[in-house]
Amino acid sequence: MRVLFRTATAALSFVLTDANAATGGTVLVPQFEPGQTYSNVFSIMHSIRADGYDEYARRNGGSAGYTVLAANGTVWRLRSLWRYDGKPGGDDVIELREGGRTQCTLKTDGPKDCQPYLDGSGLVYNPALWGVPPKELTPGMTWKMIIKLPWELGGSNRTEQGTVMSIDRSGGGVVLKREGTSQGFFGEDEPTERQLIR
């Protein structure tokens, strides 16, 4: 399977300490504090095309509400109330570790279930999916990223390009775009076979 020009945008909120500079460290690395709340609503369109077959297309979406329970450097503990298409809702306590690269679901009986954080619509800028934050952000700038694992929006070992679409210094937001290609199967429980209509 080859996926062409998969595009996703991310809108991130931030507070600038210096009105003249938007750096990756101030904009893309969250400055969480206990008690803060955030929400996330997403919609993903997925299509498969092959010569001689009708296009297969579907959309799925979901939402989540987060409350910050603890924040320490690059480890953030949050309560997550979520709903994802086709699945019952959930209420979890999670930890995002390694600056957003790993997500652990905390269990009341002790063990933690940790795995790579592969959500294309996640709460934070994930360096495993977006690359190391560029030092300085300016509209129109681009950078390359390599994603090693299959994830929500594509297969493994893919190279993509990120672009800063806009920076709203007064309102505190940045819009990023990603584009690229991949081969192979997606993560996130996607089936490895699809029936297409000829």
3-state secondary structure of 52: coil
Distance CA 42, CA 66 (A): 14
Q: The pTM is what?
A: 0.78
Average pLDDT over residues 39-43: 86
Q: Is it the case that residue 179 has pLDDT exceeding 70?
A: yes
Residue 11: its pLDDT value, please? 47
* Contact by Cβ (8 Å): 59, 46: yes
Residue 2: its pLDDT value, please? 39
Looking at per-residue pLDDT, the higher value among 7 and 42 belongs to 42
Chain centroid to CA 103: how far?
A: 12
16-26 pLDDT, tens digit per residue, is 445 456 777 77
Residue 96: its pLDDT value, please? 94
* Residues 6+ positions from 58 with CB-CB distance below 8 Å: 45, 46, 47
**H helical segments located in the chain:** 24-27, 127-130
* Contact by Cβ (8 Å): 34, 71: yes
81-106 pLDDT, tens digit per residue, is 999 887 888 999 999 999 999 999 98
Under the banding of pLDDT at 50, 70 and 90, the label for residue 31 is: confident
Share of the chain above pLDDT 70, in %: 83
135-149 pLDDT, tens digit per residue, is 888 899 999 988 888
What secondary structure does DSSP assign to 139-189, as a single string?
TT-EEEEEE-S-BTTB-SSEEEEEEEEEEETTTTEEEEEEEEEEES--STT
